[in-house]
């Protein structure tokens, strides 16, 4: 029957093996194009996939920890603070941080503030003519008492309950107060791990000792393995001027690249440092430039009254950014990519066969 015939035919087809016909085309044009395509595929697989992308490797992302320690001493002589020596406890705020540190370079100081009442700083919303212009309890910026009082001989403003005298933060020094900050140094200790390969390493090499660390300073040409960096050198490599940046502050990125090929000996895997300014420095959008924050130091007078010195601190925040990928030979991605290359090569014959049929070479 017809059904039995179809079953018998399907049974025979299951145990059959077909091959494509091989036709030799004696044409220099066709042969040249065929070999050119084969060469391009081999060049892509060997040159780009294997050499550039290293797709024969298994990869892992870096896990990192960073600690920093700043050193240096500066001197200032101002009307608010007098003659003063600044050490790391004064300008490194906060004293410890994870993957970042701040160095004070400029400041506005408001000394001897106490909890009391005083006239608000004059602006469009605080200038008044009488008490009716002041809303008691309003705390848009500070808490108003509802009274209008003399700020100067010609200007009246609303009275506020606050730390008085109020800070006047528009008189920023035109030159950074802590000019010596450019010569401060920072020790960066960085440990990395690639857990998939059980690989661990530090940026402080095994043969480094304490005496070397006391006298070395990072130099890309003469001492690239030293983990101690001069602040001015890092800012300069970011194509910035330290003293200009120090006036209003900013954010500088310290990039540590740990891209490693673990098919090579371990000593070939090391950190590569680069530096870049990270905060906004666009002339067309210069609102709130730089980097600053406020902190206060509190005291008590002999009569038990609390006072404070308010400091608006300008400076440079250094962010340590660690990134990297490690690769090591693995058979699985190697087989996958070799198989893909062979598939590409087999497609060349199919494409040429279709082209020959369409152009009537046969």
196 annotated ligand-binding residue: no
The 3-state secondary structure of 137-180, one letter per residue: CCCCCCEEEEEEEECCCCCEEEEEEEEECCCCCCCCCCCCCCHH
85 annotated ligand-binding residue: no
302 annotated ligand-binding residue: no
199 annotated ligand-binding residue: no
Rounded to an integer, what distance in angstroms lies between the CA atom of residue 215 and that of residue 231? 16
How many CA within 13 A on the CB side of residue 85?
Answer: 3
102 annotated ligand-binding residue: no
45 annotated ligand-binding residue: no
Rounded to an integer, what distance in angstroms lies between the CA atom of residue 295 and that of residue 147? 29
8 A C-beta contact, residue 295 and residue 288: no
Burial class, 113, CB count within 10 angstroms (exposed 0-12 / middle 13-18 / buried 19+): buried
328 annotated ligand-binding residue: no
Residues 6+ apart with CB under 8 A from 307: 112, 113, 114, 298, 299, 300, 301
312 annotated ligand-binding residue: yes
Binding-site sequence positions for ATP:
69-71, 185, 292-294, 312
Binding-site sequence positions:
69-71, 185, 292-294, 312
């Amino acid at each position: 029957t017809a059904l039995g015939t179809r079953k018998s035919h399907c049974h025979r087809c299951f145990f059959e093996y077909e091959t494509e016909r091989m036709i030799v085309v004696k044409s220099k044009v066709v042969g040249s194009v065929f070999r050119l395509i084969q060469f391009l595929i081999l060049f892509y697989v060997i040159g780009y996939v294997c050499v550039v992308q290293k797709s024969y490797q298994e990869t892992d992302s870096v896990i990192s920890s960073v600690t920093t320690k700043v050193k240096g001493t500066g001197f200032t002589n101002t009307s608010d603070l007098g003659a003063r020596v600044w050490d790391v406890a004064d300008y490194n705020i906060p004293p410890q941080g994870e993957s970042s540190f701040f160095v004070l370079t400029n400041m506005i100081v408001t000394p001897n503030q106490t909890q009391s009442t005083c006239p608000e700083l004059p602006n469009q919303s605080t200038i008044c003519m009488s008490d009716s212009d002041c809303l008691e309890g309003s705390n848009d910026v500070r808490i108003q008492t509802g009274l209008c009082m003399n700020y100067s001989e010609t200007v009246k403003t609303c009275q506020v309950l606050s730390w008085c005298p109020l800070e006047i933060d528009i008189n920023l020094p035109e030159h950074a107060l802590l000019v010596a900050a450019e010569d401060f140094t920072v020790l960066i200790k960085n440990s990395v791990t690639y857990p998939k390969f059980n690989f661990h390493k530090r940026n402080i090499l095994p043969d480094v000792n304490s005496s070397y660390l006391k006298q070395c300073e990072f130099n890309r040409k003469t001492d690239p393995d030293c983990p101690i960096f001069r602040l001015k050198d890092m800012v300069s490599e970011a194509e910035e001027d330290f003293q200009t940046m120090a006036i209003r502050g900013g954010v500088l990125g310290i990039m540590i690249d740990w891209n490693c090929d673990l098919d090579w000996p371990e000593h070939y895997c090391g950190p590569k440092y680069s530096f870049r300014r990270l905060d906004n420095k666009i002339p067309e959008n210069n609102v709130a430039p730089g980097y600053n924050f406020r902190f206060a130091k509190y005291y008590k007078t002999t009569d038990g009254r609390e006072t404070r010195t308010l400091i608006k601190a300008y400076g440079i925040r250094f962010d340590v950014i660690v990134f990297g990928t490690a690769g090591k030979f693995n058979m699985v991605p190697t087989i996958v990519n070799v198989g893909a290359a062979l598939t590409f090569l087999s497609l060349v014959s199919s494409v040429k066969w279709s082209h020959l049929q369409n152009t009537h070479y046969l």
